[in-house]
Chain A
Amino acid sequence: MIKITNKDFSLDDLYSNIKSHKNGAISIFLGTVREDLFNEKETIEAIFLECYEDLALKQLNKIRAEAIHKWNLNNCIIVHRVGKISLGEKIVFIMTSSPHREESIRSNEFIIDQLKTKAAFWKFSQYGDDLKIVGAKEKDLEKNLKWKDVIKN
């Protein structure tokens, strides 16, 4: 299941979608809006997420299929919000299930690292009435690169 939505979502509902007696492990990544630690003068109120939806769905499907294939997952759910998201609210949710923990944990980290650098979403920070573009981070590119050899094998 892949979903791009401008609404908040229930963790319980998503969990009920992945429950299965075949699962021995379920891993969850939940990204939320945090205060901007690098800007002490201004307090972030929210973020705004923009998306090229048709392309992002295609990219997320590809990432999900790679993860399921590589780690032989039972299931995988990816949900990404768009629009205005307030401080502390959910942005992105990834849930992976497998018979054993290593596969669910590794694949979950793979998915968020890929999503950060390959899926067509753009973030803005909101300070009062001002929207500031959030720039891409070098460390996200480095994290993505570490999976190159893993996916090759």
Chain B
Amino acid sequence: MKITIKYFSWIRVKLNKSQDLFEIEENLKFKDLKLFLIKKDNFFSEIFSDDSIKFFINFKEIENEAIDIVDGDELGILPPVTGG
């Protein structure tokens, strides 16, 4: 299945891209997706250990890492916001 990951602010700058499209195996939970991403790029371990960063699946904040990831999902990785 395919999932899109969107990057913002300093994460987008550091990765030098605003999104990725990953092909991943079926029946993954968010906690499994984290391991998959860390394996792809160790930079993700820095992201996942930063408490100030929030994660959204299809525009809803992830509160439980056991949430299922399904085909077509969009994961947003958000550093603290600074609008206004």
List A residues at the B interface (Cβ < 8 Å): 31, 49-52, 54-56, 58, 80, 91-92, 112, 115-123, 133-137
Smallest distance from the beta carbon of A59 to chain B beta carbons, Å? 9
List B residues at the A interface (Cβ < 8 Å): 6, 8-10, 12-13, 52, 56, 59, 76, 78-84
Query: Which chain A residues border B78 with CB–CB below 8 Å?
Result: 52, 55, 120
- When the two chains form their complex, are residues B84 and A91 in contact, meaning their CB atoms are under 8 A apart? yes
CA distance A137 to B83 in the complex (A): 11
Q: In the complex where A52-B6, A55-B59, A133-B9 touch, is A120 in contact with B84 (Cβ < 8 A)?
A: no
Q: In the complex where A50-B8, A55-B59 touch, is A120 in contact with B81 (Cβ < 8 A)?
A: yes
CA distance A51 to B81 in the complex (A): 9
CA distance A123 to B6 in the complex (A): 17
Given A31-B84, A120-B76, 16 more contacts at CB 8 Å?
Answer: A49-B83, A54-B59, A55-B76, A58-B59, A91-B84, A115-B84, A116-B84, A118-B81, A121-B82, A122-B79, A123-B82, A133-B9, A133-B13, A135-B82, A136-B80, A136-B82
Smallest distance from the beta carbon of B68 to chain A beta carbons, Å? 20
Contact sample, A vs B, 25 pairs, CB 8 Å cutoff: A49-B83, A50-B12, A52-B8, A55-B76, A55-B78, A80-B84, A116-B81, A116-B82, A116-B84, A119-B81, A119-B83, A120-B76, A120-B83, A121-B82, A121-B84, A122-B9, A122-B81, A122-B82, A122-B83, A123-B82, A123-B83, A133-B10, A134-B82, A135-B80, A136-B80
Contact of B83 among A54, A58, A121, A133 (CB under 8 A): A121
Contact of B84 among A52, A58, A112, A133 (CB under 8 A): A112
CA distance A122 to B8 in the complex (A): 8
Query: Which chain B residues border A123 with CB–CB below 8 Å?
Result: 82-83
Smallest distance from the beta carbon of A38 to chain B beta carbons, Å? 14
